[in-house]
Amino acid sequence: MSMVAPLLPSDPRQLGSYWLARRLGAGGQGVVYEAYDSLGDRVAVKALREDFITDAYRDQLRKEVAALSRVAPFCTARIIEADLDHVPPYLVSEYVPGPDLQNRVDKDGPYRPDDLHRLAVGIATALASIYQAGVTHRDVSFSAVNDRACSSSPSMGSTVQAASSAA
């Protein structure tokens, strides 16, 4: 999903109280934006495609967002806000900087064994924590993981902090 790009003319400029700055990625469910709150703090906002949402899906998202609050705090980027009744529905989480694994490996080559081990343990820890909380994982791929986070969903794609600082 890595594709940092300017906002498109069709993109909203604001969702709730968050000002959108640029696109961080887009996928089948929606678009992830770099955004800023009223204090200037950087956040990640994922807006779902309006045609993607049914009432049943919205109810499932509510359950998954609630489950995220039970994920161990050392494993997740904090969920700041979710407005699933907004058009489009969106979720706001802490911004987790860094290149995705695909870009990181393309630029710097393979991880060294010790760094790779730390990264794998961090991702496994994060995944175990989110599964234990009842959150369904939707996407672990090279473009959905970085050294510090695994894009892990409730279906909206919140970020899960991998307990790793491998660089």
Catalytic residue positions?
Answer: 139
CA 132 to the chain's CA centroid: 18
Strand partners, 42: 36
43 Cβ contact list (under 8 Å, min separation 6)? 18, 34, 35, 36, 37, 80, 92, 93, 94, 95
Torsion, CA 132, CA 160, CA 49, CA 27, rounded to 10: -110
* 8 A C-beta contact, residue 87 and residue 129: no
